[in-house]
A and B are shown apart, each in its own frame.
Chain A
Amino acid sequence: MKHNFGLDQPLPIRYLRWLGMVLQGQLGYSTSNSEDVTTAIFERMPATLLLMGCSFALSLAVGVSFGILAAIKPYSLVDYAITTFAFFGQSMPVFWFALMLQLAFAVTGITAFGYHFALPSAGISSSDDFDLGDHALHLILPVAVLSLLSIATWSRFTRSSMLEVVKTDYMRTAAAKGLDRMRIILRHGLKNALIPVVTIIALSLPSLVAGAVVTETIFAWPGMGRLFFNALGQFDFPLLMGYLMMVSALVVFFNIFADVAYAWLDPRVKYN
């Protein structure tokens, strides 16, 4: 049997065979339930993309707004509040934040206006029938958990990038024309301040992926991250390798995308 599976071969040979297979688009078969690895991963991808997409949109909206808000009046109360929040967000262990949200909103629940309600803390839906409201409720806690770190990072970055832009000559010109600060920042500053932010957003994809593994595991979210974690307990190495392969490809793709976007947004950047 060892011979039939090629397990009697030395490790380098097995690795080369695996590489050859990968080049043909074949990631092998899971050793725990003999599922095709590619199919298994693609089956779980939509759930992960839903989670990451929502978290991405939320982080972008909240993170960038927080950054702008903090930059409008640097060293004001608002700025301190946002910066402090960002420090907490960057220092928070994702899994513990998840546990605390579960404790507050799912286990204990919230009592307000005479009603007592609790958010679902596990899974993607309560029943197999499609119900948009139910889906949305299940999304709240995982998305909040996954977004915290990126909101914190992106808001700090947007703030410092905006403060750099505010110092430039064209911003002073706009101010000299008598425009109010809000308008200058949103109309003239934002576009330029966001250029470096694009890079940091693309580069934070690995941490989003890592966060998704933890989040999906804790919230029993049926995505790639949970598939990966379950495979870990089974020592299902074809599946683990396949997952790492796919995720790394995604990271490389995003890096290229960031480089291209950077050159497109800022015509001064030229690549040879």
Chain B
Amino acid sequence: MATTLVPGAIVAPVAEEEFHIERHGVWKRFRRHRLALLGGLVIVAIALVAVFAKLLPLQDPNFIDQVNWTGYPLAPGVAGHLLGTDENGRDLLARLIYGAQISLTVAVAAVFMELAIGTVVGAISGYYGGWIDYTLMRITDVFLSIPLLPLLLVLTAIVAASSNKAALSFGVIVVIIGGTSWPVVARLVRASFLSLREKEFCEAARALGNRDGRIIFRHLLPNAIAPLIVQGTLEIANVIILESTLSFLGFGIQPPTASWGNMLANAESNMAIAPWVAIFPGLCILVTVLAINYLGDGLRDALDPNMR
């Protein structure tokens, strides 16, 4: 416990400079990863289109074009529908873009919840160790041993059974996904904290009489943030797939609200005459998820060169 205390004023400038150099290196490494750059641009573009959907010259995503609709999906280009319509005569492009709003918002919100729970559980577990760690990790193990998708389906079915399917609103889906997929994050944070709590700066912070909460969130967490950013990015991709799968199976976002998943739910029956209804929403999911995965890969290379 022979830690020498260094006055903060002397440490600060050095640390800042190091941080600056470090940040510079991160950007340099990230820039080298062309596909990650491209992925980032694609994500920004999709997010901008989704956020400013109202400003675009689009039809109401739930408007049924009764004038031209014949009971079958309209082909792309027909009657001013750039990508055609779905089986109910609703403009596919408008639904794709408003669906992007829903799918992306669910993903981001759920991942934030996941990161929050996972970080707190992992930090407490890793920092305190002992029986607290043991108990929290066994709870984590229980979550990890149940395959996620079936678990999510059962939870949404419980909500649907206790009221009705319309109760599966945006918020419920976010809470269910965020509340079940945090164990991976908890494990990650715990692993970082196990090594960080042995470091000298942690001991110094403790010797200065800081409260545990302050040590955990102000001193240790910033040092564990790099893998969290990477994992958070990749998790957004995972949650987009999870949400779209739930919605496709009818236990996610409920129609008429458009989500990329539920737009595919009825596409199968019309696939022979209207393949575009099945192709476009899936393509949106694939492109978005692929872009995020490349972005995450680039971030991992840039932030944590030792990780692979």
Residues of A within 8 A of B (CB): 87-88, 90-96, 99-100, 102-103, 107-108, 160, 206-207, 209-210, 213-214, 217-218, 228-229, 232-233, 235, 237, 240-241, 243-244, 247-248, 251-252, 255
Contact = CB atoms under 8 A, between A and B. Distances in A.
Interface stretch (B12-20, B65-73, B104-112, B242-250): B242-250
Contacts of A108: 272
B278 A244 contact: no
Contacts of B26: none
Given A228-B150, A247-B146, A99 B157 contact: no
Interface of B: 144-151, 153-154, 157-158, 160-161, 237, 241, 244-245, 248-251, 264, 267-268, 271-272, 275, 278-279, 281-282, 285-286, 289-290, 293-294, 297, 308
A218 B267 CA distance: 12
Given A93-B285, A232-B157, A240-B157, A107 B264 contact: no
Nearest to A95: B248
A102 B271 contact: yes
B301 to A, nearest CB: 13
Contacts of A233: 250
B286 A251 contact: no
Nearest to B293: A91
B264 A95 contact: yes
A94 B157 contact: no
**Interface-centre pick from A214, A232, A235, A255 (highest chain B CB count, 10 A):** A232
Given A99-B264, A209-B150, 11 more contacts: A87-B293, A94-B245, A95-B244, A95-B245, A103-B271, A107-B275, A228-B150, A229-B153, A237-B161, A244-B146, A255-B145
B308 A99 contact: no
A233 B289 CA distance: 29
Contact of B146 (A93, A214, A248, A255): A248
Contact of A210 (B149, B282, B297): B149
Contacts of B286: 88, 91-93, 96
Contacts of B272: 107-108
Contacts of B248: 93, 95
A243 to B, nearest CB: 7
A214 B152 CA distance: 13
9 smallest CB-CB distances across A and B, nearest first, come from A96-B282, A210-B149, A206-B147, A91-B290, A91-B289, A235-B161, A209-B147, A210-B147, A248-B146
Contacts of B145: 206, 248, 251-252, 255
